[in-house]
Amino acid sequence: MRNRIFFKLLAAFVLVIATATATLDFSIRRTWEASLRQEIERNLRQKTVMLANRSRTGLTPTGSTTSKKLCLRRGKPQAPGLQ
């Protein structure tokens, strides 16, 4: 009889822990994703403003700067005219 009560209590504890874990995972994941989305949007806005300011001041031609960055990110050699 004691074994049955022990296993019922053990099953109840496991169920409570699993429910709490699932609830926390769901709520934390939503908050985390919203935070990441806001950070990405903020970074994109900042980079857009920086690119607009750079092209407005005429420090470097926009096309060549963009092409250089793309080539560097892809690991491809740059075209001879862009060096």
Helices 2-57, 62-74: axis angle to 10 degrees equals: 140
Q: Answer whether residue 8 shows pLDDT above 70.
A: yes
Q: Distance of CA 72 to CAs 9, 27, 58, 79, 83, Å?
A: 60, 39, 22, 11, 12
Is the model more confident about 1 or about 38? 38
| Strand segments (E) across the chain | none
Return the pLDDT at 61. Answer: 54
**31 or 68, which is more confident?**
31
Two tokens at 37? 């989305």
Composition of the chain by helix, strand, coil, percent to 5: 85, 0, 15
